[in-house]
Chains A and B, each alone.
Chain A
Amino acid sequence: MAERSFEVVKPGLATTVQDLGRPGYYHLGLPLSGAMDRFALIAANRLVGNPDGAAGLEAVFLGPELRFSADALVAITGAELPPKLDGVEQPLWTAFKVAAGQVLSFAFLKGGARAYIAINGGVDVPEVLGSRSTYALGALGGFEGRALKAGDVVPLGAPTTAGGEGKTLPPDGRRPAQESGVEIRVLPGLYWHRITEEAQAGFFEDTWKVAPEADRIGYRFRGGKKLDFVPRQQPFGAGSDPSNIVDSCYPYGSIQVPGGTEPIVLHRDAVSGGGYFMIGTVISADMDLIGQLQPHQPVRFQSVTLEDALTARAVETARLARLGELI
């Protein structure tokens, strides 16, 4: 048994080990993986004195229950999933001490979708292709290539810094989950020309709701009008449905609409390609936001230019840079 570890008493809904991902293998069908809300994982790591890319846990909707074998420093960020230590509530976005034998659990979710649990020293599962992230569809990385189960004993690395208890990120430095009025910015493109002008306008005018089929691979939306296609003779090899294309790569954040009915935004565990047309791509600055959306939550898509996307990206870079000053 590892010197430092925690035991999974209850696994939560789909708690996985994630770091900042596994770039470089998308051409072989292996997606980036890693935290869906990267900002939240980085903030949690900074709070406990870990490097940004240390592996933590991503808990979705329902928190796990973990018993620690050794003293540790822990911080929870992202979704509003209030942590409890031996039943006593602890603050979010703040490093707190856990003593050997104590149990970390969570109250019910109050906002957002994914909480990040950073532990000093990081989760020390073996690196696979340069990352500890779990890619569950390919049974790769993380803890045995899967979400945690009750009884798992998960190893922790040795802490590199001492102290840090009580470190907190002030509220104005956080990015809290939004309850309403969520707008996701999209750069139209890819196969945007395949739908009519009316459908193009309707996509951005309609309010969409997150469908229950929303996971690390992609988020599905419903409730908007069906998109009409510009008529064409289907190209050889594409397949007969007007939403079919000759199978191509799928960008992260790309929005495919099979049959023209329910848009799917691909996320960190994206399928790397396939035969459905895409109308555009969610800008990099808004990918984290999607990871915090709950089923049934209403959202609107907003059309932006490439310049807008780069400006938004700079805002996110500045937010990250500010973490250094605030923590």
Chain B
Amino acid sequence: MQTRYSFGGDEHIFVEVDEEMSLEAFFKSLSMTTAVREAGIAGVTEICPANASFQIKFDPDVIAPQALMDQLKGFEAAAEAAEKTIETRIIEIPVLYDDPWTRETLMRFRERHQDPDATDLEYAARVNNYPDVASFIAAHAASPWFVSMVGFVAGLPFTYQLVERDKQIEVPKYLRPRTDTPRLTIGHGGCFGCIYSVRGAGGYQMFGVTPMPIYDPAGKISYLKELMIFRPGDILKFRPIEREEYDATVAAIEAGTFVPKIVPVPFSLDAFTADPAGTNAKLLEALNG
């Protein structure tokens, strides 16, 4: 892991903890951003952790850029040695896979796709060596996923599959980004999954939709008073549902009676690395009781 520091103009410092994605890089980035927050450095205005990197926005009229960069570098050794354990929560996301809305959208943008004759699910199943779409969906929904970044647009989680690297789903992004993606699409690009919080442009392959809003600018939905649900470090679990449950969930959300399933859990990177299957079993047990 080689950490690289760069100025993003005169108001940002960009720190790439590692060129490639790993949970080790995420935890080091998280430790460093926590250290920056706890240091309460005057002039630091935004602290943004990402998958394997992070970004600090600052006011150069308050703190000299080089002085801030030196201070950040000083946090690195301690971050590397820090315990890679967090108190977090696991959140269940019901998903209607192969739904009519993403299907309609992907057909509209077929000429921007690697394989215009297949759906995104068929393509993703094939390039990841699954015999069919059903077994691909089963794998996608079987393991928990780790929220390693929130961003792109409001409240959108980037998710990292909690399985050994050789089992992780990987798919290229669209050849050219779409100009439209249905709200609450479950997407995937590179090794990352995501949930599109709003309708808009996107380049990730589309697998399904969740009926459960994750961002509410009006703050009216009962569990979205803080406008969005996800924070970096959250763990989520997809649960395949049928159209009937999808419609019932949409109705329950409108009626204000839907309560998302959220359970507090600890997560230790060392425990996960030593025994991914056992760690996941414990996470799912916490969720499903």
Is A309 a contact of B9 with CB atoms below 8 Å?
yes
- Of listed B8, B152, B231, residue having the most chain A CB within 10 A: B8
List, in ascending order, chain A residues with CB within 8 A of B276's CB.
Answer: none
Interface residues on A, range: 35 or more
Which of these binds chain A: B83-91, B99-107, B188-196?
Answer: B188-196
A236 with B12: CB separation less than 8 A: no
B189 and chain A: residue at smallest CB distance? A239
Are B152 and A272 interface neighbours, CB within 8 A?
A: yes
Residues of B within 8 A of A187 (CB): 7-10
CB interface residues, B 16-30, toward A, < 8 Å: 16, 18-22
* CB closest chain-B residue, reference A273: B151
Which residues from chain B contact A100 at a C-beta distance below 8 Å?
A: none
B9 touches A283 (CB 8 A): yes
Contact between B190 and A246, CB atoms less than 8 A apart: yes
B189 touches A190 (CB 8 A): no
Do A27 and B173 touch across chains, with their CB atoms under 8 A apart? Answer: no
Give Cα A237 to B228, complex, Å. 26
Interface membership of B238, Cβ < 8 A: no
CA distance in complex: A29, B200 (Å) = 14
Q: Are B150 and A239 in contact (CB under 8 A)?
A: no
Residue B65 at the chain A interface, CB threshold 8 Å: yes
Partner of B172, one of A141, A189, A239, A252: A239
Which of B14, B200, B203 lies in contact with A249, CB distance below 8 A? Answer: B14
A251: Cβ under 8 A from any B Cβ = yes
Contact size range, B: 35 or more
Query: A229 near B: Cβ within 8 Å?
Result: no
Q: Which of B49-57, B133-141, B240-248, B266-274 contacts A (4 or more CB under 8 A)?
A: B49-57
Contact partner of B9 (CB less than 8 A), chosen from A129, A135, A138, A251, is A251
Contact call B12/A246, Cβ cutoff below 8 A: no
State how many angstroms separate the Cβ of A62 from the closest Cβ of chain B: 23
Nearest-neighbour CB distance to chain B for A236, whole angstroms, equals 4
Chain A residues near B152 (CB, 8 Å)? 29, 247, 271-274
Partner of A236, one of B22, B61, B154, B173: B22
Pick out which of these stretches binds chain A: B40-48, B255-263, B278-286: B40-48
On whether the beta carbons of B10 and A313 are closer than 8 Å, the reply is yes
A247 and B51 contact, CB distance less than 8 A: yes
- Are A238 and B190 in touch, CB under 8 angstroms? yes
CA distance A280 to B103 in the complex (A): 37
- Judging by beta carbons under 8 Å apart, are A139 and B53 in contact? no
Task: Say yes or no: A247 contacts B173, CB within 8 Å.
Answer: no
A–B complex contacts, Cβ < 8 Å, 11 sampled: A23-B45, A27-B46, A28-B154, A28-B228, A29-B150, A140-B154, A248-B14, A271-B152, A272-B153, A284-B9, A306-B7
Task: Write the residues of chain B forming the contact surface with A, with a CB cutoff of 8 angstroms.
Answer: 6-12, 14, 16, 18-22, 45-55, 57, 60-61, 65-66, 149-156, 158, 165, 170, 172-173, 177, 189-192, 197-198, 200, 203, 215, 217, 227-228, 231-232
Residues of A in contact with B (beta carbons under 8 Å apart)? 23-24, 26-30, 128-129, 135, 137-141, 145, 187, 189-190, 192, 235-241, 244-249, 251-254, 258, 271-275, 278, 280-284, 306, 309-310, 313, 317
* Shortest 5 CB-CB contacts between residues of A and residues of B: A237-B21, A251-B8, A281-B9, A235-B20, A249-B55
